[in-house]
Amino acid sequence: MDLRMKRETTGSSIQARNSPWRVLIILPVFILFMLACSLTQPLENTPQVSTVLFNTITPTLVWQEGTPLPSVTSTMQAQTITRAAAMGTFLPSMTQPPRKTSSIQPTRSTTAKTPGKTVVVTGIKFPTAAKPWTRTSIYYRSRTPTKTKTQPANTATVTATTTMTATVTLTPTITLTPTVSPSPTRTATLPSPTASPTATETPEWIVFSAPSQSGYVSSLWKAGLYGSTVSSQTQLYSYPDIPSLSAEVFPDGSSLLFEGMCGSPALTGICKLNLRDTAAAPVLVTSLPEGSNRSPSLSPGGKWMVFSNEMDGNADLYLLDMETAGALPLQLTSGADMDSQPDWGAEGIVFIRNEDPMIIRIGETFQPGDEALVEAVFTSPEDEADPSLSPDGSMLAFSRLAGGDWEICLYTLDTGEVTTLTSNLAADMQPAWSVDGSALLFISDRDQTGVFQLYRMTATGADQLRVMNSLADESDPVWIP
């Protein structure tokens, strides 16, 4: 049956080709074909567009298979379809070419291209380029699969749309060149091998006496103690040919009492030196009795001064009101004994009488001018000197001549116990308490240099270290509050 249909179709096609209507059919088809070809010619005078950065959408055609052809198709029908396609005409039938379904899958590109004029013909996008346009066949549907007697009017609409997309994307490129500053150079300051004082440590200031150079008399000096060393010392006062011996500092640290020559006219006696104004000259303490006035010491509040006056081979103690101008001295002790080296502390006034330590207890009811009650602190066969009461008044430090040399000893007033703090073949003398009572300064010639130098130790006699490093005789140390 299929063969029969094929033969009938073939015969019909031959008859149509030999029919007198052949010319009438071909002529319109030819005209339509030429018209379609003219519509597919490339557009002239394509405007030139500068190269810019833009996004390009590249169409991708995805083909889908249509309805498969019938298993039996006549040869003539296939030939007819082929020729119709070549002429630009599509004849719909049971057998048709695969349908093409376009699915646009955008693919973005950021490369620089030369955009051109884009022409859209029946939904298909053709980019214009340097080469001519590509010819594309347009299929027209026909109702008759074997022959075409009439052709539908050409309603093809050519829409030329010029799309110019110029997207300029400016991506600033900033190149940062880091500037590396040179690292600061740290200079390490190494401590001096001679144990230089630490700058952040607060020194403990002292005053002492020493000659400025060998062969000179003693002058007054100030220095700061840093543990076992001292800072560079400063000279406070010097008088030619007359030694200046430090004695006592006022409780507020403002002034110093010392033995020496001062005033105008210059006289020997007890002088007062302003420690806060080094340019000020010392002044002589006046209204003192005749004779040699020595060893001044102040009461805990600084109102009264006790001192020793020696005249005609006899020495007694006197008091002087330091806050009342023109006050006269008051005699505190009398007799044939030698009373010297007084020191006023919390328990009263200690002094040396005939090489033994004595004490005058001054209570709240004691008034200067009253008869003083003198007591022996202790008695011993040795000679004692340089008594110094601790700040709290509980202990007495002194020098003792024992075994041919002087040693520093400590006496506890409550228990009567005596402790020897130094023990060597040198002379250790003149103990002086620190402000807090934790340490003692003293002088010693233990280094066999032939001169006395300043030493420091704890209140128990430990850590005995030299604090000065000179070859001059140092003496009479006093702590500045």
Determine the pLDDT at residue 23.
57
Per-residue pLDDT at 293 exceeds 90: yes
More confident residue, 144 or 458: 458
Average pLDDT on 6-29 reads 55
Coil, strand or helix: which one is 64?
coil
Give whichever of 175-184, 225-234, 375-384 has the largest mean pLDDT: 375-384
Determine the pLDDT at residue 32.
76
Give the percent of the chain with pLDDT over 90: 47
Give the model's confidence band at 132: pLDDT under 50 very low, under 70 low, under 90 confident, else very high. Answer: very low
Interval 211-231: pLDDT, tens = 988 889 999 999 998 866 666
Q: Which residue has the tokens 């119709």?
A: 84
More confident residue, 143 or 215: 215
Per-residue pLDDT at 412 exceeds 80: yes
Number of neighbouring beta carbons within 10 Å of residue 436: 11
Host H or E run for residue 30: helix 22-39
Average pLDDT on 153-173 reads 47
C-alpha dihedral sign at 63, 67, 71, 75: negative
Per-residue pLDDT at 46 exceeds 60: no
Interval 308-319: pLDDT, tens = 999 999 999 999
Give the model's confidence band at 121: pLDDT under 50 very low, under 70 low, under 90 confident, else very high. Answer: very low
Average pLDDT on 14-40 reads 62
Give the model's confidence band at 208: pLDDT under 50 very low, under 70 low, under 90 confident, else very high. Answer: very high
| DSSP secondary structure string for all residues of 382-407 | SEEEEEEE-TTSSEEEEEEEETTEEE
Give the model's confidence band at 238: pLDDT under 50 very low, under 70 low, under 90 confident, else very high. Answer: very high
Give whichever of 64-73, 128-137, 382-391 has the largest mean pLDDT: 382-391
- Beta carbons within 8 Å of 176's beta carbon, 6+ residues apart: none
Tokens representing residue 172 in the block: 């600033």
More confident residue, 65 or 272: 272
Length in residues, the chain? 481
Whether 380 and 411 have beta carbons less than 8 Å apart is answered as no
Average pLDDT on 396-419 reads 95
Peptide bond into 265 cis (omega under 30): yes
Interval 423-443: pLDDT, tens = 989 999 999 999 999 999 999
Task: Judge residue 127's burial from the number of C-beta atoms within 10 Å of its C-beta, 0-12 exposed, 13-18 middle, 19 or more buried.
Answer: middle
Give whichever of 57-66, 67-76, 183-192, 297-306 has the largest mean pLDDT: 297-306
More confident residue, 67 or 214: 214
Per-residue pLDDT at 116 exceeds 70: no
More confident residue, 393 or 41: 393
Determine the pLDDT at residue 140.
44
Interval 453-480: pLDDT, tens = 999 999 999 999 998 877 789 999 999 9
Interval 177-206: pLDDT, tens = 444 444 444 444 444 444 555 545 788 999
Distance (Å, whole) CA 45 – CA 47? 6
Whether 416 and 378 have beta carbons less than 8 Å apart is answered as yes
Average pLDDT score, the chain:
74
> Comparing C-alpha atoms, which of 104, 136, 105, 130 is closest to residue 117?
130
Per-residue pLDDT at 419 exceeds 60: yes
Q: Which residue has the tokens 């032939």?
A: 450
Determine the pLDDT at residue 110.
45
Give the model's confidence band at 29: pLDDT under 50 very low, under 70 low, under 90 confident, else very high. Answer: confident
Cα angle 236, 345, 219 (rounded to 5 degrees) comes to: 15
| DSSP secondary structure string for all residues of 133-202 | PPP-------S-SS--S-------------------------------PPPPPP---PPPTTTPPPTTSP
Average pLDDT on 75-101 reads 52
Whether 367 and 330 have beta carbons less than 8 Å apart is answered as no
Determine the pLDDT at residue 298.
96
Determine the pLDDT at residue 80.
56
Distance (Å, whole) CA 346 – CA 344? 7
Per-residue pLDDT at 388 exceeds 80: yes
Q: Which domains does the chain have, with CATH numbers?
A: 2-64+74-127 (no CATH), 204-479 (2.120.10.30)
Tokens representing residue 419 in the block: 């402790």
Give the model's confidence band at 33: pLDDT under 50 very low, under 70 low, under 90 confident, else very high. Answer: confident
- Spell out the long-range contacts of 69-78 with Cβ–Cβ below 8 A and sequence spacing 24 or more: 69/94, 69/95, 69/96, 70/94, 70/95, 72/2, 74/2, 74/5, 74/6, 74/9, 74/10, 75/6, 75/10, 76/6, 76/9, 76/10, 76/12, 76/13, 77/9, 77/145, 77/146
82-96, 329-343, 413-427: the lowest-pLDDT one: 82-96
